[in-house]
Amino acid sequence: MIGGMSAIIAQFLDVKYNGGKLHHRDHPEHAALAQLAQAKFEIGPFYGLLRNQDPTKKESFEADIRETLDELEKIYREHAAEFRAKGPYLFGDELSSAEINIIPFFFRFQIILKHYRDFELLTGYPLLTAAYEAAVARPAFKQTIKEPEFFINAYAKYANP
Report the CATH number at residue 148.
Answer: 1.20.1050.10
Question: Cα Rg for the chain, rounded, in angstroms?
Answer: 16
Tallying the residues shown for the chain, one arrives at 161
Distances (CA, A) of 97 to 42, 60, 110, 140: 16, 30, 20, 15
Distance (Å, whole) CA 74 – CA 47: 22
Range of the domain at 119: 4-159
The structural domain count of the chain equals: 1
pLDDT single digits (tens) 38-51: 889 999 999 999 99
pTM of the model: 0.89
Distance (Å, whole) CA 144 – CA 133: 15
Of 55, 161, 146, 60, the C-alpha closest to 104 is 146
Distance (Å, whole) CA 154 – CA 48: 16
pLDDT single digits (tens) 57-105: 999 999 999 999 999 999 999 999 999 999 999 999 999 989 999 999 9
pLDDT at residue 1 is higher than 50:
no
Residue spans of beta strands (DSSP E) within 100-156? none
| Longest pairwise C-alpha distance within the chain | 49
Q: What is the pLDDT of residue 4?
A: 59
Mean pLDDT of the 4-17 span = 72
Distance (Å, whole) CA 108 – CA 106: 6
pLDDT at residue 14 is higher than 90:
no
As to burial, measured by CB atoms within 10 angstroms (0-12 exposed, 13-18 middle, 19+ buried), residue 87 is middle
Long-range contacts of 50-56 (CB under 8 A, 24+ apart): 50/109, 50/112, 50/113, 50/116, 50/117, 50/155, 50/158, 50/159, 51/158, 51/159, 51/161, 52/117, 53/161
Mean pLDDT of the 102-123 span = 97
pLDDT at residue 53 is higher than 80:
yes
In the chain, the percentage of residues whose pLDDT exceeds 70 is: 94
Supply the mean pLDDT for the chain: 91
